Amino acid sequence: MDCGDARSGIATHELLMGTGGPSALNRRRRRVLDTALRTTPDGYCPETCLGKDVTPREHDWGVDVSQTDADTRGAAAPDMTRFLLAQSQLGRSPLLIHAPDTTLNLSTDLRMNAQTLTDPFGRQIAYLRLSVTDRCDLRCGYCLPKGFKGFEEPEHWLTFEEITRVVGAFTALGVSRVRITGGEPLVRRNLPELAAGLSALPGLEDLSISSNCTRMESLAEPLHRAGVRRLNVSLDSLRPEVFKQVTGGDLDKVLRGIAAARAVGFAPIRVNTVVMRGVNDDEIEDILGYCADNGFTLRLIETMPMGATGQAARDQYLDLQTVRRRLEARFTLIPDILPGGGPARYFRLDATETRIGFITPISQHFCETCNRVRLTVDGTLYLCLGQESSYALRPLLRDGIGDDALLDHLRRAIALKPERHEFNERPEKVIRFMSMTGG
């Protein structure tokens, strides 16, 4: 049930109070959200109202608060911890918060370091993927439908000031890597201005960008001067006709953009190729050769069933384990590690400096080491690319939330991060397009 407060930071939730014991919980995901109580002042709804001054009698807690001792309720603003303890004494089960497919128990113990963000499964969050737009000047079939016009309205975009404030809160909590994404981030006007503000934040060690490079020829120098150092570029084919088929774009324009980024000093540059059966799977060696000639790293990516476009692309899915075996017939692949915080499993080719990475969300998921969350252009924080668990930050920012409260909300959001995606079990589950989240 929802308290009806539009400022709620939890996008999908309900407060439950029942008579079932812990055995009724999903034990695998049961974790405490005691920070919601430990850091919440008396008289504030710990989760749904998020700052609205209420008493239990004004909020539907799912229980009859008249059964609670007057001393534990207090006068106008009861201590919520005592309130929950009183319910426990009455034989009621603890307060639960429900996010999509995740049940969290406030009575279980989870200790979060005040200066770091650790999710319920012990993973420290150190990496933020920041989408500055959901728009793109290409139309890759697995990402954004041709003719799609349902983009976020500009008045809902986070301003550069709001973005910098949120990223600053993340860095204060130990996040050290930020990647600017889209859509296509280079279509956001004055992007180097934002990059300069982000790169000046204390605690930010690595500012990178993912781009299709259609506009990089003119923006490479100002972005590099603003502090962006690493580049991931989407390049699904080196054949102009195939590139046009997949993206609707001009391959030569992209290659000139990549060359410009290399010339001004972006390093490392990593080429991301979504491998599609019957489309580009026969040119992997050619793309690998292009990367070797230019000192780039190639990263092969499996298609993911995100939105109608991603689900349609399932027919083109190719298990990258078969690609790896194909390459192993020609090269010695030596396991390697590269910095960057991403999910790829890297290999070095023979005794060369050429490296190839495999990103395999379907055939060999990497959820157990996931250290990232995604902030969309409208201020929604997605905790998992393959789940709908989210936390709305824009309403809080525009209601004038204080710095300490913002840090607290980020901690609450991370406590909702699910254990893993369900691309294999429930491929139809994620209905938003990839471009809406930021890859």
Per-residue pLDDT of 74-121, as tens digits, reads 333 333 333 333 333 333 333 333 333 333 333 323 333 457 899 999
Q: Rounded to a whole number, what is the distance in angstroms from the first to the last CA of the chain?
A: 32
Last residue of a domain, one of 48, 78, 111: 111
| More confident position, 436 or 254 | 254
What the block records as the tokens of 409 is 């909300």
Residues 80 and 136 in one domain: no
Last residue of a domain, one of 84, 111, 138: 111
Of the CA atoms within 13 Å of residue 191, those in its CB half-sphere come to 27
Nearest to 31 by CA among 122, 125, 108, 117: 108
Residues 292 and 324 in one domain: yes
Last residue of a domain, one of 53, 77, 111: 111
Strand partners, 358: 300, 345
pLDDT tens string 266-301: 999 999 999 999 999 999 999 999 999 999 999 999
315 pLDDT tier (thresholds 50, 70, 90): confident
Q: Is residue 411 part of a domain?
A: no
Statement: residue 139 has pLDDT above 50: yes
Q: Are strands 297-301 and 380-382 parallel, antiparallel or unpaired?
A: unpaired
pLDDT of residue 150: 80
Q: Is residue 201 part of a domain?
A: yes
CB 287 within 8 A of CB 275: no
pLDDT of residue 113: 43
pLDDT of residue 361: 75
Strand partners, 372: 127
Statement: residue 19 has pLDDT above 70: no
Nearest-angstrom CA–CA distance, 45 and 36: 9
116 — phi, psi (to 5°)? Answer: -135, 165
pLDDT of residue 72: 31
CA-CA-CA-CA torsion for 304, 306, 308, 310, nearest 10 degrees? -20
Q: Is residue 185 part of a domain?
A: yes
Task: Please calculate the CA angle 318-354-266 and round it to the nearest 5 degrees.
Answer: 100
Residues 134 and 67 in one domain: no
CB 421 within 8 A of CB 365: yes
Q: Is residue 206 part of a domain?
A: yes
Mean pLDDT of the chain: 75
Residues 55 and 148 in one domain: no
Which residue in this structure is represented by tokens 């106008």?
76
Give the type of residue at 389. S
| More confident position, 113 or 203 | 203
Residues 100 and 141 in one domain: no
Handedness of CA 366, 371, 377, 378 (dihedral sign): positive
pLDDT tens string 336-361: 999 876 788 999 999 899 999 999 87
- Looking at the structure of the chain, the number of domains it has is 2
CB 315 within 8 A of CB 397: no
Q: Which domain holds residue 277?
A: 127-374+421-437
Helix-helix angle 216-225:191-199, to 10 degrees: 30
Residues 86 and 140 in one domain: no
Q: Is residue 259 part of a domain?
A: yes
Q: Is residue 88 part of a domain?
A: yes
Residues 261 and 333 in one domain: yes
CB 110 within 8 A of CB 31: yes
pLDDT of residue 30: 33
pLDDT of residue 100: 38
Residues 91 and 224 in one domain: no
Q: Is residue 416 part of a domain?
A: no
Strands (E), 224-344: 230-234, 269-274, 297-301, 333-336
369 pLDDT tier (thresholds 50, 70, 90): confident
Q: Is residue 387 part of a domain?
A: no
Statement: residue 153 has pLDDT above 90: yes
What number is the average pLDDT over the span 4-8?
A: 34
